[in-house]
A and B are shown apart, each in its own frame.
Chain A
Amino acid sequence: MDFEPTDVQRAVAETARAFARERIAPVARDNDLARRFPRDLVRGLGELGLLAVNVPEAYGGSAAGAVAYALAIMEIAAADCATATTAAVTNMVGETIARWGTEEQKRRHLPALASGEYAAGAFALSEPQSGSDAAGLGTRALRRGGAWVIDGAKQWITSGDVAGVLVVWARTDPAAGARGVTAFLVEQGTPGLSVGRHEEKMGLRASSTVALAFEGCEVPDAARLGAPGEGFKIALSALDGGRVGIASQATGTIRASLEASVRYAKERRTFGAPLADHQAIQFMLADMATAHGSARLLALRAAWLKEAGRPFSREASMAKLFASEAAQRAVNRAVQIHGGYGYTNEFPVERFFRDARVQTIYEGTSEIQRLVIARDLLGQP
């Protein structure tokens, strides 16, 4: 048993850490206030191979593996959650196309996703009326000659307005339930695809979240990802990896909270001593560090299983559930340790607090994760 990263994994992590410290952290506050998507940072991440960490080199990826990917997201998220979300979804889209795409689809989209030429990839599964109940989606795709025509609406689509390519799930066979859903690769600018509302979010404000409308949006059959009816399987497999991404993001959040809190607790004095000398504060920091260690290991375990080609759904759900809920406690504590300074934007912890809240909601709510874990434990389908 060995918990040390390999040389490749270490290199990826250090590259990500340096970029996060030098380029991402300094602009995070301003981008949040201005609600600005950091296009230049995306390009920077692309140049460093961090947008397609687990995609084969033949298509422009870094082929560094799932563990390296998890470590990279942890580093990016510690500097800025919003940038981490953008990067994580782009990576997830790249992996999805690499796993399920035709040669032509891979050659067409993967290099652009990996390099940052596409500002992002997007994953269009959720709808206004179906989030957790993904199989209940209503967007339709009707066969018309050698093409498909997509009609419907998607909700909460990260980078939906800036992504070069979007994976879109639509119902192709209404009678077949979950087996009647098919995935399609839709390029930005395709007639019939329009961007609706830009969501005003509490946090992750430098990440773009939009509603999408599909009205007679026609795509060639060559844009279909996987076989007809295979869509749901593709979505679930992508989300398994996505959970590792969010678990890693949450781990980064916990670390950022811990580091900020330790720094502040050493500086701030009350009742004749630094905060860090008071037992109550010491216990908070101890709990935060323990949570960080646990979250990190759960995320890396899931990533390692994935990299080994072993089943990892339950472990990914556990990692996402635990890390995101631990992150809630950590950001909360970080605000508390900063006192009044945790509530104004002079210090970054209020941004961590606002950013982290969605981690227990997106890419599978905590409730869904609990269902996945419980069903697996109980041997239920």
Chain B
Amino acid sequence: MDIELTEEQRQVRDLCRQFADEELRPNARRWDANHEFPREAVKKLGEMGLMGVAIPPEWGGAGMDNVSYAIAMEEISRGCAGTGVIMSVNNSLYCDPVLKFGTDEQRKQFLEPFARGEKLGCFALTEPMSGSDAAEMRTVAEKRGAEYVLSGSKNFITNGPQADVVLVFAMTDKAKRHRGISAFLVPSDAGGFVRGKPDEKVGIRASGSCTVFFEGCAIPERYRLGGEGDGFKIAMAALDGGRIGIGSQALGIARAALEEALAYSKERKAFGQPISQFQAIQFMLADMATELDAARLLVWRAATLKDRGVRHSAESAMAKLFASEMSERVTSRAIQIHGGYGYVKEYDAERHWRDSRITEIYEGTSEIQRIVISSAVLKD
């Protein structure tokens, strides 16, 4: 049992923290106000190896462990939550499945430039009529000779507006239900691939998301990832890892809020003293700090299990569930501590709360996480 960071993990932490302080925090408010994609920052993340943290160097990645990935995600998200999810989707939902399930040829074309941050990937599972119930998807991929022709639409696709390749899941055999889903790598310049206009979101506004349409979009057979019918398994495996990413994002958002609330409470005076001297405020800060630490340990536990190659569905579900719900509570408390100043855009408190809210919904709602956890618990 050892909860100490290795030297490498410490270095990643310090590097990312510095990057967040210098490049992300000064711009996050503006990106949020303008719903602006942080192009330069994402490019620099790529140069730092952060778009493929746990991808082996032979495939363009930084070759680090999943705890390092969690640490990097937390530090980056503390600077800008939107930048955090751009990074997380590329790492966990795009690069990881291509690494695990791709052929060497696919990895060369579809992994290497993406792990290096030269290109951006995205993950298209959700549809207008199917989110949690992914197996009910309606997008189909019809085999025609040496090609697949895709028809349908996917929505709320993070990185959708900017992605070079879309990892999309479609029905190849409706009769087999979820075992009839396959995965495909679709370049965004493929004929019949259309991007809708970007979603207008409550938070994580530096991250762009949109609906994507497949209108008789034909791709070669060799762009199928894994075998026919492997799609659901691939999606679920990706989402398991994605939970570590989003759990870490939630940690970063909450930590930013806690740090700022702490600083504010020492400055703001009422009834003759800084409000940090009032027991009520002290107890709030105590609860926030405790929950944040607990969430981080849950995330790190899931990350270490993944590093050991051990099944970690329940642990990663717990981490994502707890960290996301914690981040909403902590950011909401941070607003409360700021009083009126927590409601206006002069301070970052309100943005942190808006950013945190999505962490309980995407990459598996809290309700889905509870189903995963209770299944595991009831099995024993």
Find chain B residues with CB under 8 A from A202 CB: 343-345, 350, 353-354
* Interface-side segment among A70-78, A144-152, A356-364: A356-364
Given contacts A280-B367, A328-B332, contact A133 B270 (CB under 8 A): yes
B25 at the interface (CB under 8 A from A): no
B232 at the interface (CB under 8 A from A): no
Find chain B residues with CB under 8 A from A345 CB: 200, 202
* Interface-side segment among B15-23, B126-134, B183-191, B237-245: B126-134
Chain A residue, CB-CB nearest to B280: A367
Chain A residue, CB-CB nearest to B338: A361
**A136 CA to B268 CA in the complex, in Å?**
13
**A281 CA to B365 CA in the complex, in Å?**
13
Chain A: how many interface residues by the 8 Å CB criterion? Answer: 43
**A133 CA to B335 CA in the complex, in Å?**
18
B194 at the interface (CB under 8 A from A): no
**A324 CA to B130 CA in the complex, in Å?**
33
Which of B129, B271, B339, B370 lies in contact with A365, CB distance below 8 A? B339
B182 at the interface (CB under 8 A from A): no
Which of A132, A156, A342, A360 lies in contact with B361, CB distance below 8 A? A342
Looking at the assembled complex, report how far the CB atom of B364 sits from the nearest CB atom of chain A, in whole angstroms.
Answer: 11
CB of B339 within 8 A of CB of A358, answer no
B155 at the interface (CB under 8 A from A): yes
A126 at the interface (CB under 8 A from B): yes
CB of B336 within 8 A of CB of A360, answer yes
A290 at the interface (CB under 8 A from B): no
Which of B199, B281, B342, B345 lies in contact with A200, CB distance below 8 A? B345
Given contacts A131-B339, A131-B340, contact A270 B131 (CB under 8 A): yes
A301 at the interface (CB under 8 A from B): no
CB of A201 within 8 A of CB of B343, answer yes
Chain B residue, CB-CB nearest to A365: B339
Chain A residue, CB-CB nearest to B33: A200
* Interface-side segment among A41-49, A228-236, A332-340: A332-340
B213 at the interface (CB under 8 A from A): no
Find chain A residues with CB under 8 A from B101 CB: none
**A336 CA to B156 CA in the complex, in Å?**
15
**A202 CA to B335 CA in the complex, in Å?**
11
A-contacting residues, B352-367, CB 8 Å: 353-354, 357-358, 360-362, 365-367
Which of A126, A332, A361, A365 lies in contact with B328, CB distance below 8 A? A332
B138 at the interface (CB under 8 A from A): no
Find chain B residues with CB under 8 A from A358 CB: 343
Given contacts A336-B366, A350-B202, contact A271 B133 (CB under 8 A): yes
CB of B269 within 8 A of CB of A129, answer yes
**A130 CA to B130 CA in the complex, in Å?**
49
**A343 CA to B203 CA in the complex, in Å?**
8
A107 at the interface (CB under 8 A from B): no
CB of A357 within 8 A of CB of B361, answer no
Find chain A residues with CB under 8 A from B362 CB: 340
CB of A336 within 8 A of CB of B350, answer no
Find chain B residues with CB under 8 A from A366 CB: 336
A353 at the interface (CB under 8 A from B): yes
CB of A343 within 8 A of CB of B202, answer yes
Which of B136, B156, B280, B340 lies in contact with A362, CB distance below 8 A? B340
B-contacting residues, A290-349, CB 8 Å: 328, 332, 335-336, 339-340, 342-345
CB of A126 within 8 A of CB of B340, answer yes
Find chain A residues with CB under 8 A from B199 CB: 344
Find chain A residues with CB under 8 A from B131 CB: 270, 339-340
Find chain A residues with CB under 8 A from B156 CB: 340, 344
B43 at the interface (CB under 8 A from A): no
Looking at the assembled complex, report how far the CB atom of B31 sits from the nearest CB atom of chain A, in whole angstroms.
Answer: 15
Chain B residue, CB-CB nearest to A337: B367
A23 at the interface (CB under 8 A from B): no
CB of A353 within 8 A of CB of B270, answer no
B174 at the interface (CB under 8 A from A): no
B107 at the interface (CB under 8 A from A): no
A39 at the interface (CB under 8 A from B): no
Find chain A residues with CB under 8 A from B126 CB: 340
CB of A335 within 8 A of CB of B357, answer yes
**A270 CA to B128 CA in the complex, in Å?**
12
CB of A201 within 8 A of CB of B202, answer no
B312 at the interface (CB under 8 A from A): no
Chain A residue, CB-CB nearest to B353: A357
Chain A residue, CB-CB nearest to B328: A332
**A345 CA to B345 CA in the complex, in Å?**
19
B201 at the interface (CB under 8 A from A): yes
**A269 CA to B132 CA in the complex, in Å?**
10
Find chain A residues with CB under 8 A from B136 CB: 269-271
**A361 CA to B342 CA in the complex, in Å?**
9
Contact flags A264-283 to B (C-beta < 8 A → 1, else 0) = 00000111100000001100
**A350 CA to B270 CA in the complex, in Å?**
33
Chain B residue, CB-CB nearest to A197: B346
Chain B residue, CB-CB nearest to A335: B357
Chain A residue, CB-CB nearest to B354: A202
Looking at the assembled complex, report how far the CB atom of B199 sits from the nearest CB atom of chain A, in whole angstroms.
Answer: 5
**A155 CA to B281 CA in the complex, in Å?**
23
A370 at the interface (CB under 8 A from B): yes
A215 at the interface (CB under 8 A from B): no
A-contacting residues, B166-209, CB 8 Å: 199-203
**A212 CA to B345 CA in the complex, in Å?**
18
Which of B335, B343, B350, B361 lies in contact with A339, CB distance below 8 A? B361
Given contacts A199-B344, A202-B345, A365-B339, contact A354 B361 (CB under 8 A): no
Chain A residue, CB-CB nearest to B342: A361
Looking at the assembled complex, report how far the CB atom of A189 sits from the nearest CB atom of chain B, in whole angstroms.
Answer: 26
Looking at the assembled complex, report how far the CB atom of A327 sits from the nearest CB atom of chain B, in whole angstroms.
Answer: 12
Which of B203, B336, B360 lies in contact with A336, CB distance below 8 A? B360
CB of A200 within 8 A of CB of B344, answer yes
Chain B residue, CB-CB nearest to A270: B133
Chain B residue, CB-CB nearest to A271: B133
Interface centre among A269, A340, A357 (most CB of B within 10 A): A340
30 contacts between A and B (CB under 8 A): A129-B269, A131-B270, A131-B340, A132-B270, A133-B270, A136-B271, A155-B340, A200-B345, A201-B343, A201-B344, A202-B353, A269-B129, A281-B367, A336-B367, A339-B131, A339-B132, A340-B361, A340-B362, A342-B361, A343-B358, A344-B199, A345-B200, A350-B202, A353-B202, A357-B332, A357-B343, A357-B350, A361-B343, A367-B280, A367-B336
Could you list 5 further interchain pairs (A-B, Cβ under 8 angstroms) beyond the known A357-B353, A366-B336? A132-B270, A202-B345, A271-B133, A281-B367, A353-B357
Residues of A whose CB lies within 8 Å of any CB of B are: 126, 129-133, 136, 155-156, 199-203, 209, 269-272, 280-281, 328, 332, 335-336, 339-340, 342-345, 350, 353-354, 357-358, 360-362, 365-367, 370
